[in-house]
Structure 1
Amino acid sequence: MIQSEDVKQILSFFPSMADIKKEDWNQSGINLIQMEPNYIIKEGQLLEYVIMILDGTVRMYKTSSNGREITLYRVYSGECCPLMTSSILSMSEFEASACVETTGLALMIPADIFRDWVDRYSKFRQFIFKSLAKRIITLATLLDSVYFKTIRGRVAEFLIQLSDKTGKADTLHITHDSLSVELGTAREVISRTLKYLENEDVIKLSRGKITIISRGALEDCADW
Protein backbone atom coordinates (compact mmCIF):
# COMPACT_ATOMS: atom_id res chain seq x y z
CA MET A 1 0.00 0.00 0.00
CA ILE A 2 1.32 3.44 -0.98
CA GLN A 3 1.60 5.88 1.94
CA SER A 4 1.36 9.68 1.78
CA GLU A 5 5.13 9.98 2.28
CA ASP A 6 5.62 7.58 -0.61
CA VAL A 7 3.46 9.77 -2.85
CA LYS A 8 5.56 12.83 -1.98
CA GLN A 9 8.69 10.94 -2.96
CA ILE A 10 7.10 9.74 -6.20
CA LEU A 11 5.98 13.26 -7.15
CA SER A 12 9.51 14.58 -6.62
CA PHE A 13 10.55 12.36 -9.54
CA PHE A 14 7.29 12.45 -11.51
CA PRO A 15 5.61 15.87 -11.05
CA SER A 16 3.27 15.05 -13.94
CA MET A 17 1.45 12.71 -11.50
CA ALA A 18 0.49 15.55 -9.13
CA ASP A 19 -3.13 15.61 -10.34
CA ILE A 20 -3.74 11.96 -9.47
CA LYS A 21 -6.30 11.83 -6.68
CA LYS A 22 -5.57 10.44 -3.23
CA GLU A 23 -8.13 7.66 -3.59
CA ASP A 24 -6.45 6.52 -6.81
CA TRP A 25 -3.18 5.96 -4.97
CA ASN A 26 -5.00 3.67 -2.51
CA GLN A 27 -5.89 1.10 -5.15
CA SER A 28 -4.61 -2.44 -4.73
CA GLY A 29 -1.43 -3.44 -6.54
CA ILE A 30 0.34 -0.06 -6.56
CA ASN A 31 3.65 -0.50 -4.79
CA LEU A 32 7.20 0.75 -4.43
CA ILE A 33 9.61 -2.08 -5.13
CA GLN A 34 13.35 -2.55 -4.74
CA MET A 35 15.02 -3.33 -8.05
CA GLU A 36 17.81 -5.88 -7.90
CA PRO A 37 20.67 -6.06 -10.44
CA ASN A 38 20.39 -8.58 -13.28
CA TYR A 39 16.62 -9.02 -12.90
CA ILE A 40 15.37 -9.46 -16.48
CA ILE A 41 11.99 -9.02 -18.18
CA LYS A 42 12.11 -11.01 -21.40
CA GLU A 43 10.84 -9.92 -24.80
CA GLY A 44 7.45 -11.32 -25.85
CA GLN A 45 5.72 -11.14 -22.45
CA LEU A 46 2.31 -9.64 -21.88
CA LEU A 47 3.10 -7.18 -19.11
CA GLU A 48 0.90 -6.85 -16.04
CA TYR A 49 2.61 -3.76 -14.58
CA VAL A 50 4.27 -0.51 -15.61
CA ILE A 51 7.56 0.21 -13.87
CA MET A 52 8.52 3.86 -13.29
CA ILE A 53 12.09 4.42 -12.06
CA LEU A 54 12.73 6.54 -8.98
CA ASP A 55 16.31 5.42 -8.55
CA GLY A 56 18.57 3.03 -10.45
CA THR A 57 19.17 2.11 -14.07
CA VAL A 58 17.46 -0.34 -16.43
CA ARG A 59 18.97 -1.32 -19.79
CA MET A 60 16.62 -1.98 -22.71
CA TYR A 61 17.93 -4.31 -25.40
CA LYS A 62 17.05 -6.59 -28.31
CA THR A 63 18.43 -10.07 -28.92
CA SER A 64 18.90 -11.47 -32.43
CA SER A 65 18.11 -15.03 -33.47
CA ASN A 66 21.80 -15.95 -33.05
CA GLY A 67 21.87 -14.55 -29.50
CA ARG A 68 23.66 -11.28 -30.19
CA GLU A 69 22.45 -8.30 -28.14
CA ILE A 70 22.24 -4.61 -28.91
CA THR A 71 21.46 -1.93 -26.35
CA LEU A 72 18.51 0.27 -27.36
CA TYR A 73 18.66 2.77 -24.50
CA ARG A 74 18.68 3.05 -20.71
CA VAL A 75 15.95 4.19 -18.35
CA TYR A 76 17.08 6.36 -15.43
CA SER A 77 15.55 8.11 -12.40
CA GLY A 78 12.40 10.04 -13.27
CA GLU A 79 11.78 8.01 -16.43
CA CYS A 80 9.65 5.13 -17.61
CA CYS A 81 10.17 2.82 -20.56
CA PRO A 82 8.00 3.85 -23.56
CA LEU A 83 8.25 0.37 -25.06
CA MET A 84 6.76 -0.92 -21.82
CA THR A 85 4.02 1.72 -21.66
CA SER A 86 3.09 1.31 -25.33
CA SER A 87 2.91 -2.46 -24.86
CA ILE A 88 0.49 -2.02 -21.95
CA LEU A 89 -1.60 0.67 -23.65
CA SER A 90 -1.98 -1.48 -26.77
CA MET A 91 -2.31 -4.71 -24.75
CA SER A 92 0.36 -6.33 -26.92
CA GLU A 93 3.55 -8.26 -26.28
CA PHE A 94 6.62 -6.49 -24.92
CA GLU A 95 8.88 -5.77 -27.91
CA ALA A 96 12.24 -5.75 -26.09
CA SER A 97 14.00 -7.11 -23.02
CA ALA A 98 14.83 -5.16 -19.86
CA CYS A 99 17.65 -5.79 -17.40
CA VAL A 100 18.18 -4.00 -14.09
CA GLU A 101 21.77 -2.70 -14.05
CA THR A 102 21.93 -0.92 -10.69
CA THR A 103 20.00 -1.36 -7.45
CA GLY A 104 17.20 1.15 -7.13
CA LEU A 105 13.61 1.96 -6.30
CA ALA A 106 10.68 1.79 -8.70
CA LEU A 107 6.95 2.46 -8.72
CA MET A 108 4.89 -0.51 -9.90
CA ILE A 109 1.44 0.27 -11.35
CA PRO A 110 -0.97 -2.48 -12.48
CA ALA A 111 -1.72 -2.32 -16.19
CA ASP A 112 -5.46 -1.61 -15.85
CA ILE A 113 -4.84 1.24 -13.37
CA PHE A 114 -2.13 2.71 -15.62
CA ARG A 115 -4.47 2.72 -18.63
CA ASP A 116 -7.16 4.39 -16.53
CA TRP A 117 -4.76 7.12 -15.33
CA VAL A 118 -3.56 7.81 -18.86
CA ASP A 119 -7.20 8.22 -19.93
CA ARG A 120 -8.18 10.51 -17.05
CA TYR A 121 -5.12 12.63 -16.26
CA SER A 122 -3.92 14.89 -19.08
CA LYS A 123 -0.56 15.90 -17.56
CA PHE A 124 0.34 12.28 -16.90
CA ARG A 125 -0.76 11.34 -20.42
CA GLN A 126 1.36 14.14 -21.86
CA PHE A 127 4.40 12.88 -19.93
CA ILE A 128 3.91 9.35 -21.28
CA PHE A 129 3.63 10.51 -24.89
CA LYS A 130 6.61 12.87 -24.54
CA SER A 131 8.64 9.93 -23.25
CA LEU A 132 7.59 7.92 -26.30
CA ALA A 133 8.52 10.74 -28.69
CA LYS A 134 11.93 11.14 -27.03
CA ARG A 135 12.75 7.47 -27.42
CA ILE A 136 11.61 7.38 -31.05
CA ILE A 137 14.35 9.94 -31.73
CA THR A 138 16.84 7.83 -29.74
CA LEU A 139 15.98 4.70 -31.72
CA ALA A 140 16.10 6.60 -35.04
CA THR A 141 19.60 7.78 -34.13
CA LEU A 142 20.60 4.21 -33.24
CA LEU A 143 19.22 2.92 -36.55
CA ASP A 144 21.15 5.60 -38.42
CA SER A 145 24.32 4.63 -36.58
CA VAL A 146 23.94 0.89 -37.24
CA TYR A 147 23.19 1.20 -40.96
CA PHE A 148 25.11 4.26 -42.07
CA LYS A 149 28.22 4.52 -39.88
CA THR A 150 31.39 2.45 -39.91
CA ILE A 151 32.17 0.27 -36.90
CA ARG A 152 35.30 2.36 -36.39
CA GLY A 153 33.19 5.50 -36.22
CA ARG A 154 30.63 3.89 -33.93
CA VAL A 155 33.30 2.65 -31.50
CA ALA A 156 34.97 6.09 -31.42
CA GLU A 157 31.63 7.85 -30.91
CA PHE A 158 30.64 5.51 -28.07
CA LEU A 159 33.97 5.95 -26.28
CA ILE A 160 33.64 9.74 -26.52
CA GLN A 161 30.09 9.64 -25.16
CA LEU A 162 31.13 7.32 -22.32
CA SER A 163 34.02 9.64 -21.50
CA ASP A 164 31.64 12.61 -21.40
CA LYS A 165 29.30 10.77 -19.02
CA THR A 166 32.17 10.11 -16.63
CA GLY A 167 33.37 13.72 -16.60
CA LYS A 168 35.61 13.49 -19.67
CA ALA A 169 37.65 10.73 -18.02
CA ASP A 170 40.63 9.43 -20.00
CA THR A 171 40.38 5.90 -18.59
CA LEU A 172 37.16 4.00 -19.29
CA HIS A 173 36.31 0.81 -17.42
CA ILE A 174 34.65 -1.31 -20.07
CA THR A 175 35.40 -4.73 -21.57
CA HIS A 176 35.38 -5.75 -25.22
CA ASP A 177 32.38 -7.98 -24.47
CA SER A 178 30.43 -5.08 -22.96
CA LEU A 179 31.28 -2.85 -25.89
CA SER A 180 30.08 -5.50 -28.35
CA VAL A 181 26.75 -5.72 -26.50
CA GLU A 182 26.35 -1.93 -26.54
CA LEU A 183 26.97 -1.73 -30.27
CA GLY A 184 25.34 -5.00 -31.32
CA THR A 185 28.30 -6.53 -33.11
CA ALA A 186 30.69 -9.43 -32.63
CA ARG A 187 33.37 -9.25 -29.96
CA GLU A 188 36.01 -10.09 -32.57
CA VAL A 189 35.02 -7.05 -34.62
CA ILE A 190 35.26 -4.80 -31.55
CA SER A 191 38.65 -6.21 -30.53
CA ARG A 192 40.03 -5.78 -34.05
CA THR A 193 38.77 -2.19 -34.27
CA LEU A 194 40.19 -1.28 -30.85
CA LYS A 195 43.55 -2.78 -31.81
CA TYR A 196 43.65 -0.62 -34.94
CA LEU A 197 42.96 2.46 -32.82
CA GLU A 198 45.69 1.43 -30.39
CA ASN A 199 48.19 0.96 -33.22
CA GLU A 200 47.39 4.49 -34.34
CA ASP A 201 48.13 5.81 -30.81
CA VAL A 202 44.52 6.94 -30.35
CA ILE A 203 43.83 4.68 -27.35
CA LYS A 204 45.67 2.25 -25.08
CA LEU A 205 44.19 -1.12 -24.16
CA SER A 206 44.57 -2.97 -20.86
CA ARG A 207 42.51 -5.60 -19.08
CA GLY A 208 38.99 -4.24 -18.52
CA LYS A 209 40.09 -0.70 -19.40
CA ILE A 210 40.46 1.58 -22.41
CA THR A 211 42.56 4.72 -22.02
CA ILE A 212 42.06 7.60 -24.44
CA ILE A 213 45.49 8.89 -25.49
CA SER A 214 44.32 11.49 -28.03
CA ARG A 215 40.75 12.71 -27.68
CA GLY A 216 41.16 14.88 -30.78
CA ALA A 217 42.19 11.90 -32.90
CA LEU A 218 39.32 9.85 -31.46
CA GLU A 219 36.86 12.61 -32.37
CA ASP A 220 38.28 12.61 -35.90
CA CYS A 221 37.50 8.88 -36.12
CA ALA A 222 33.86 9.37 -35.11
CA ASP A 223 31.34 9.70 -37.93
CA TRP A 224 29.45 12.66 -36.48
Structure 2
Amino acid sequence: MNLDHYQFFQSLEPKSLEKVRSEAKKIALGVGTFLYFQGDVTPGILFLNKGVVKVFLHADEIGKGEITLYYITPGEQCLVNTLSTVSQMPATATAIVDESIEGWLVPAETIRWLIDNSPAYRNFKLSFCSERLSQIMHLVEELRFKRMDQRLLNWLYVQGRDTIQTTHEQIAQILGTSREVISRILKNLEKEGVVTIGRGWIRLSER
Protein backbone atom coordinates (compact mmCIF):
# COMPACT_ATOMS: atom_id res chain seq x y z
CA MET A 1 0.00 0.00 0.00
CA ASN A 2 1.19 3.52 -0.73
CA LEU A 3 -0.29 6.87 0.26
CA ASP A 4 -2.56 6.94 -2.79
CA HIS A 5 -4.31 3.79 -1.56
CA TYR A 6 -5.78 5.55 1.47
CA GLN A 7 -9.36 6.15 0.42
CA PHE A 8 -9.54 9.77 1.53
CA PHE A 9 -6.32 10.66 -0.32
CA GLN A 10 -8.08 9.69 -3.55
CA SER A 11 -10.44 12.63 -2.99
CA LEU A 12 -7.69 15.15 -2.29
CA GLU A 13 -7.08 18.00 -4.72
CA PRO A 14 -4.06 17.31 -6.99
CA LYS A 15 -1.98 20.08 -5.38
CA SER A 16 -2.74 18.77 -1.89
CA LEU A 17 -1.94 15.17 -2.81
CA GLU A 18 1.38 16.17 -4.35
CA LYS A 19 2.35 18.09 -1.21
CA VAL A 20 1.61 15.07 1.00
CA ARG A 21 3.57 12.76 -1.30
CA SER A 22 6.64 15.00 -1.20
CA GLU A 23 6.66 15.70 2.56
CA ALA A 24 5.49 12.42 4.17
CA LYS A 25 8.22 10.30 5.76
CA LYS A 26 8.09 6.50 5.68
CA ILE A 27 8.55 4.76 9.04
CA ALA A 28 8.85 1.19 10.33
CA LEU A 29 8.84 0.37 14.07
CA GLY A 30 8.93 -2.83 16.11
CA VAL A 31 6.66 -4.15 18.87
CA GLY A 32 6.96 -2.25 22.13
CA THR A 33 8.12 1.03 20.58
CA PHE A 34 6.41 4.08 22.04
CA LEU A 35 5.15 6.49 19.39
CA TYR A 36 4.46 9.18 21.97
CA PHE A 37 3.85 9.50 25.69
CA GLN A 38 1.05 11.23 27.53
CA GLY A 39 2.21 14.86 27.75
CA ASP A 40 4.27 14.87 24.53
CA VAL A 41 3.50 17.17 21.63
CA THR A 42 3.35 14.94 18.54
CA PRO A 43 5.38 16.14 15.52
CA GLY A 44 3.07 14.70 12.85
CA ILE A 45 0.19 12.35 12.11
CA LEU A 46 0.74 8.64 11.49
CA PHE A 47 -0.89 7.06 8.43
CA LEU A 48 -0.70 3.34 9.15
CA ASN A 49 -0.12 0.81 6.39
CA LYS A 50 0.70 -2.32 8.42
CA GLY A 51 0.49 -3.42 12.07
CA VAL A 52 -1.43 -2.26 15.14
CA VAL A 53 -0.97 0.62 17.60
CA LYS A 54 -2.52 0.70 21.08
CA VAL A 55 -3.58 4.05 22.57
CA PHE A 56 -4.09 4.06 26.32
CA LEU A 57 -4.34 6.11 29.49
CA HIS A 58 -2.03 5.24 32.37
CA ALA A 59 -2.26 6.13 36.03
CA ASP A 60 0.21 8.58 37.57
CA GLU A 61 1.00 6.06 40.29
CA ILE A 62 3.08 3.03 39.33
CA GLY A 63 1.12 -0.20 39.55
CA LYS A 64 -2.31 1.43 39.18
CA GLY A 65 -2.77 0.02 35.66
CA GLU A 66 -4.04 1.52 32.44
CA ILE A 67 -7.16 1.87 30.34
CA THR A 68 -7.01 1.10 26.62
CA LEU A 69 -8.89 3.76 24.63
CA TYR A 70 -8.68 2.10 21.21
CA TYR A 71 -6.43 0.31 18.73
CA ILE A 72 -5.31 1.80 15.40
CA THR A 73 -5.20 -0.56 12.42
CA PRO A 74 -4.18 0.08 8.77
CA GLY A 75 -6.14 2.92 7.19
CA GLU A 76 -7.29 4.31 10.57
CA GLN A 77 -6.21 7.46 12.41
CA CYS A 78 -5.56 8.36 16.04
CA LEU A 79 -7.67 11.12 17.59
CA VAL A 80 -5.08 11.89 20.29
CA ASN A 81 -2.32 12.11 17.69
CA THR A 82 -4.45 14.34 15.45
CA LEU A 83 -5.46 16.80 18.17
CA SER A 84 -1.93 17.10 19.56
CA THR A 85 -0.40 17.62 16.10
CA VAL A 86 -2.94 20.20 14.94
CA SER A 87 -3.09 22.17 18.20
CA GLN A 88 0.54 21.57 19.26
CA MET A 89 -0.80 20.77 22.73
CA PRO A 90 0.35 17.84 24.92
CA ALA A 91 -1.05 14.43 24.01
CA THR A 92 -3.72 13.20 26.43
CA ALA A 93 -2.73 9.51 26.14
CA THR A 94 0.18 7.22 25.26
CA ALA A 95 0.62 5.17 22.07
CA ILE A 96 2.68 1.98 21.75
CA VAL A 97 3.28 -0.41 18.85
CA ASP A 98 1.24 -3.57 19.54
CA GLU A 99 2.19 -5.30 16.25
CA SER A 100 5.16 -4.13 14.15
CA ILE A 101 4.11 -1.20 12.00
CA GLU A 102 4.89 0.38 8.65
CA GLY A 103 3.43 3.63 7.45
CA TRP A 104 4.00 7.33 6.87
CA LEU A 105 4.40 10.29 9.18
CA VAL A 106 2.97 13.49 7.74
CA PRO A 107 4.60 16.50 9.49
CA ALA A 108 2.56 18.97 11.52
CA GLU A 109 3.32 21.79 9.08
CA THR A 110 1.89 19.75 6.20
CA ILE A 111 -1.23 18.87 8.20
CA ARG A 112 -1.89 22.51 9.07
CA TRP A 113 -1.40 23.47 5.40
CA LEU A 114 -3.97 20.83 4.40
CA ILE A 115 -6.46 22.16 6.96
CA ASP A 116 -6.05 25.69 5.56
CA ASN A 117 -6.06 24.76 1.88
CA SER A 118 -7.90 21.46 1.34
CA PRO A 119 -11.70 21.26 1.84
CA ALA A 120 -11.50 17.51 1.17
CA TYR A 121 -9.03 17.03 4.03
CA ARG A 122 -11.07 19.19 6.42
CA ASN A 123 -14.19 17.12 5.68
CA PHE A 124 -12.28 13.90 6.25
CA LYS A 125 -10.91 15.09 9.59
CA LEU A 126 -14.31 16.23 10.86
CA SER A 127 -15.85 12.87 9.97
CA PHE A 128 -12.97 10.92 11.51
CA CYS A 129 -12.92 12.93 14.76
CA SER A 130 -16.67 12.49 15.18
CA GLU A 131 -16.42 8.71 14.69
CA ARG A 132 -13.49 8.26 17.07
CA LEU A 133 -15.06 10.48 19.72
CA SER A 134 -18.20 8.34 19.55
CA GLN A 135 -16.06 5.25 20.26
CA ILE A 136 -14.48 6.91 23.28
CA MET A 137 -17.87 7.97 24.64
CA HIS A 138 -19.01 4.35 24.30
CA LEU A 139 -15.97 3.28 26.33
CA VAL A 140 -16.80 5.86 29.02
CA GLU A 141 -20.34 4.49 29.17
CA GLU A 142 -19.01 0.97 29.63
CA LEU A 143 -16.61 2.05 32.36
CA ARG A 144 -19.33 3.92 34.21
CA PHE A 145 -22.36 1.69 33.87
CA LYS A 146 -21.45 -1.91 33.02
CA ARG A 147 -20.37 -4.58 35.49
CA MET A 148 -16.84 -5.91 35.06
CA ASP A 149 -18.01 -9.45 34.24
CA GLN A 150 -20.18 -8.07 31.41
CA ARG A 151 -17.31 -5.95 30.09
CA LEU A 152 -14.96 -8.95 30.19
CA LEU A 153 -17.43 -11.14 28.28
CA ASN A 154 -18.01 -8.38 25.73
CA TRP A 155 -14.27 -8.06 25.20
CA LEU A 156 -13.80 -11.82 24.77
CA TYR A 157 -16.62 -12.09 22.23
CA VAL A 158 -15.53 -9.15 20.08
CA GLN A 159 -12.08 -10.71 19.55
CA GLY A 160 -13.80 -12.79 16.85
CA ARG A 161 -12.18 -16.15 17.60
CA ASP A 162 -12.81 -19.08 19.91
CA THR A 163 -9.31 -19.23 21.43
CA ILE A 164 -7.72 -15.94 22.51
CA GLN A 165 -3.99 -15.78 23.19
CA THR A 166 -3.69 -13.42 26.15
CA THR A 167 -2.94 -13.25 29.88
CA HIS A 168 -5.03 -12.15 32.83
CA GLU A 169 -2.63 -9.24 33.33
CA GLN A 170 -3.06 -8.03 29.74
CA ILE A 171 -6.86 -8.16 30.00
CA ALA A 172 -6.73 -6.29 33.31
CA GLN A 173 -4.71 -3.49 31.69
CA ILE A 174 -7.11 -3.25 28.75
CA LEU A 175 -10.21 -3.14 30.98
CA GLY A 176 -8.68 -0.90 33.62
CA THR A 177 -8.84 -3.23 36.61
CA SER A 178 -6.57 -5.61 38.55
CA ARG A 179 -5.31 -9.05 37.50
CA GLU A 180 -6.91 -10.54 40.62
CA VAL A 181 -10.37 -9.30 39.59
CA ILE A 182 -9.99 -10.75 36.07
CA SER A 183 -8.74 -14.08 37.40
CA ARG A 184 -11.66 -14.35 39.83
CA ILE A 185 -14.24 -13.60 37.12
CA LEU A 186 -12.65 -16.05 34.68
CA LYS A 187 -12.66 -18.82 37.28
CA ASN A 188 -16.39 -18.21 37.85
CA LEU A 189 -17.03 -18.26 34.10
CA GLU A 190 -15.08 -21.51 33.81
CA LYS A 191 -17.24 -23.08 36.54
CA GLU A 192 -20.32 -21.99 34.57
CA GLY A 193 -18.93 -23.63 31.43
CA VAL A 194 -18.61 -20.38 29.49
CA VAL A 195 -14.81 -20.49 29.07
CA THR A 196 -11.87 -22.86 29.41
CA ILE A 197 -8.71 -21.33 30.84
CA GLY A 198 -5.14 -22.34 30.01
CA ARG A 199 -1.71 -20.81 30.45
CA GLY A 200 -1.66 -17.81 28.13
CA TRP A 201 -4.99 -18.57 26.46
CA ILE A 202 -8.76 -18.50 26.99
CA ARG A 203 -11.22 -20.60 24.95
CA LEU A 204 -14.87 -19.63 24.63
CA SER A 205 -17.12 -22.64 25.17
CA GLU A 206 -20.29 -20.85 24.08
CA ARG A 207 -20.75 -18.19 21.38
Per the TM superposition, whether the score is higher than 0.5 is yes
Residue 20 of structure 2 contacts residue 110 of structure 2 at CA under 8 Å; is this kept in 1?
Answer: no
Query: Residues 88-144 of structure 1, C-alpha deviation per residue, up to 9 Å, x if partnerless?
Result: 222211111000111222111111111111221111121122111111111111001
CA distance 1:207–1:134, shift in 2 (3 Å): same
2:61 to 56, 62, 66: 66
- Runs (5+) with no aligned partner, structure 2: none
Query: Residues 35-54 of structure 1, C-alpha deviation per residue, up to 9 Å, x if partnerless?
Result: 22111111101121211112
The answer as to 2:176 corresponding to 1:184 is yes
2:106 matched residue in structure 1? 109
Corresponding residue SS for 1:72: strand
1:10 matched residue in structure 2? 3
Residue 8 of structure 2 contacts residue 124 of structure 2 at CA under 8 Å; is this kept in 1?
Answer: no
Corresponding residue SS for 2:60: coil
Higher relative contact order (CA 8 A, sep 6+): 2
The answer as to 2:43 corresponding to 1:48 is yes
Give the TM-score normalised by the residue count of structure 1.
Answer: 0.84
Aligned length: 202
Q: Deviation of residue 14 (structure 1)? A: 3.9
Cα RMSD after superposing both structures: 1.7
The answer as to 2:121 corresponding to 1:124 is yes
1:37 matched residue in structure 2? 31
Residue 13 of structure 1 contacts residue 77 of structure 1 at CA under 8 Å; is this kept in 2?
Answer: no
The answer as to 2:136 corresponding to 1:139 is yes
Q: Quote the Cα distance in structure 2 between the aligned partners of 1:10 and 1:34.
A: 15
CA distance 1:79–1:26, shift in 2 (3 Å): closer
CA distance 1:133–1:23, shift in 2 (3 Å): closer
CA distance 1:25–1:72, shift in 2 (3 Å): closer
Residue type at the aligned position of 1:69 = E
Q: Quote the Cα distance in structure 2 between the aligned partners of 1:25 and 1:58.
A: 22
- Runs (5+) with no aligned partner, structure 1: 1-7, 216-224
Q: Quote the Cα distance in structure 2 between the aligned partners of 1:31 and 1:197.
A: 48
Q: Deviation of residue 20 (structure 1)? A: 4.6
